[in-house]
Structure 1
Amino acid sequence: MKKETFQYSSLKERIKTEYRVYIIAFIFILIADSIGQIKIPLGPGMLILFPIFYSLFMGILSGPQILKVMKEKEVTAASKLVIVAICPFIAKLGINAGASLSTVIQAGPALLLQEIGNLGTIFLAMPFALLLGLKREAIGATHSINRETNLALITDMYGPDSPEARGSLSIYIVGGMIGTIYFGFMATMVAALNIFHPYALGMASGVGAGIMMASATASLTEIYPAMADKISALASTSETLSGITGIYVAIFIGIPLCNKLYAFLEPKIARLRGEK
């Protein structure tokens, strides 16, 4: 998965390229926002399509491999602008957490420890990623759920043009498209079982993925409108804490574990795939 890099001949060319990215992205936002949410009842659950889904889909179609609206150098420029774009969102989550501090204290240690549970997915995801042909990209792709804070972390550790960053960004995009649908539907299905308290479901929605949290929370507030404020507060707080604790879990456990697994599994799976 080698990625071509481009060198700008002048500052003027760079500004022209990046501003074209901004303009096209803004057009996609206007179209997606005008469509709004689409809710599709499905059995006891509900599929919810969010505007980010349409934006990502339009971005894929406009790429150099399909409609060729965007050129390779513009795609390269856009990949480096992702971190800049998500910084305000990360700041907003921190503000929400501060406003819900009393709710955090009442929730106890569950909110602080839930990020540890995400580590189990590494043992399933890493072998699959290697079987699919990924190399160092697998480390960025499988070390976590790969949302805003993890994408920023991998980019800082390995660089924006590294295979690890490409793997993380790929899962970020796929999660934005498929994860929003899956989380919203899963939340309604679990709520229909009447096993867990609505507040527990709200806490479980915050796994470090803002758009997935929004999808699950929107579904839950549709089912429990009288508890909507508390569910949203717990989900937002859980989301923020997952991002904060997730950074340290990724740095000290997740990424080292992925590196160890990669070093152990990659030669074996490469031979299984018939690679030299």
Structure 2
Amino acid sequence: MDKYMYPSLKARIQAEYKIYLLAFLFIAIADKIGQIKIPFGLGTFILFPIFYSLILGILSGPQVAKIIKSKEVKAASKLVIVAICPFIAKLGINAGASIETVISAGPALLLQEFGNLGTIFLAMPLALMLGLKREAIGATHSINRETNLALITDLYGPDSPETRGSLSIYVVGGMIGTIYFGFMVSIIASLGIFHPYALGMSSGVGAGIMMASATAVLTEIYPAMADQISALASASETISGIDGIYMAIFIGIPLCNWLYDRLEPVLGHLGHKKQ
């Protein structure tokens, strides 16, 4: 296994400068493009800057434009946790500042995180049938945003199959999840089944960009309730960020390991046949 150890910070920068320059370039380009909203039938597709950044990163990789080599890709994977740390610190600061909102939110917001665990029972069998092994644990234990990716990386290590699974869903979620969330919420809102406040509350799943996508659509559909929807979505997002990490540690990851041990011997051979 390759190790990327450097005698000094200067040596590291000299070896990885291309990664840093491209990252800043992609950020500048993506920020310049901004959000793009595309009406489609009853719904609306929303493209966020992270979508363009990920596309640019893929195009610059060793399989396409070859601007970044395989060795630099492996080095960049170690930087994911570094990039996530400021976000986690910001989450903790926001949670502390919003503690009164969290306490006053009531059981509906606090208990909604249990709903996210239900997807494990659907996702784990599908992942195993598609040929995933231990990657399935990282991929299915949660929605796999920044805090979850940091947790899996800390528990299993940056080069582990669990982290590869988590990182894969993080990337796919950044590209497709935001589009899906905005489109899905516009379809559900048009059905008139749920109250706008309930839709706002359900937008905060622990992924800021997905919450923003869903909230942007809801506030356009219900402009008179825009402030209340945004407040509920923000409170829900804050709580999901706080209790979601504990759900993952104490329930989500152990549940995934338990299911993996029992389902892999039964379903694992289906993935081998497809390969």
The two structures have a TM-score, normalised by structure 1, of 0.91
Residue 124 of structure 1 and its aligned partner are, at CA, apart by 1.1
Provide the secondary structure at the position in 2 that maps to 1:46: strand
Residues 231-250 of structure 1: pairs in structure 2 closer than 5 A: 231-250=229-248
Partner residue, 2:207: 209
Partner residue, 1:88: 86
Partner residue, 1:222: 220
Partner residue, 2:61: 63
Given that 1:100 and 1:233 are in contact with CA atoms closer than 8 Å, whether structure 2 keeps it comes out as: no
Name structure 1 gaps, 5 residues minimum.
none
Given that 1:205 and 1:216 are in contact with CA atoms closer than 8 Å, whether structure 2 keeps it comes out as: yes
The equivalent position to 1:36 in structure 2, one of 34, 49, 62, is 34
The equivalent position to 1:5 in structure 2, one of 2, 6, 18, is 2
Given that 1:104 and 1:234 are in contact with CA atoms closer than 8 Å, whether structure 2 keeps it comes out as: no
**Alignment length (residue pairs):** 272
Provide the secondary structure at the position in 2 that maps to 1:184: helix
Provide the secondary structure at the position in 1 that maps to 2:37: strand
The equivalent position to 1:195 in structure 2, one of 178, 193, 196, is 193
Partner residue, 2:122: 124
Partner residue, 1:78: 76
Provide the secondary structure at the position in 1 that maps to 2:194: coil
The verdict on how the C-alpha distance between 1:100 and 1:196 changes in structure 2, with shifts beyond 3 A counting, is: farther
State the distance in 2 between where 1:40 and 1:17 align. 41
Partner AA of 1:7 in structure 2: Y
Partner AA of 2:135 in structure 1: E
The equivalent position to 1:183 in structure 2, one of 181, 184, 188, is 181
The verdict on how the C-alpha distance between 1:152 and 1:274 changes in structure 2, with shifts beyond 3 A counting, is: closer
2:144 aligned with 1:146: yes
State the distance in 1 between where 2:204 and 2:110 align. 11
Given that 1:94 and 1:240 are in contact with CA atoms closer than 8 Å, whether structure 2 keeps it comes out as: no
1:236-274 Cα offsets, whole Å, 9 max, x none, are 221121121111111111111111111112122233445
State the distance in 1 between where 2:264 and 2:47 align. 37
Partner residue, 2:131: 133
State the distance in 2 between where 1:181 and 1:251 align. 28
Partner AA of 1:117 in structure 2: G
Given that 1:137 and 1:167 are in contact with CA atoms closer than 8 Å, whether structure 2 keeps it comes out as: yes
Answer with 99-108 or 181-190: which moved more: 99-108
Partner residue, 1:170: 168
The verdict on how the C-alpha distance between 1:86 and 1:7 changes in structure 2, with shifts beyond 3 A counting, is: closer
Answer with 53-62 or 69-78: which moved more: 69-78
Given that 1:96 and 1:236 are in contact with CA atoms closer than 8 Å, whether structure 2 keeps it comes out as: no
Partner residue, 1:22: 20
C-alpha RMSD of the superposition: 2.0
1:70-99 Cα offsets, whole Å, 9 max, x none, are 112221222222222233333334444455
State the distance in 1 between where 2:24 and 2:224 align. 36
1:220-243 Cα offsets, whole Å, 9 max, x none, are 122223332322222122112112
The verdict on how the C-alpha distance between 1:230 and 1:93 changes in structure 2, with shifts beyond 3 A counting, is: farther
Given that 2:128 and 2:271 are in contact with CA atoms closer than 8 Å, whether structure 1 keeps it comes out as: no
Residues 35-54 of structure 1: pairs in structure 2 closer than 5 A: 35-54=33-52
The verdict on how the C-alpha distance between 1:39 and 1:195 changes in structure 2, with shifts beyond 3 A counting, is: same
Given that 1:97 and 1:237 are in contact with CA atoms closer than 8 Å, whether structure 2 keeps it comes out as: no
Provide the secondary structure at the position in 1 that maps to 2:86: helix
State the distance in 2 between where 1:135 and 1:226 align. 48
State the distance in 2 between where 1:34 and 1:229 align. 27
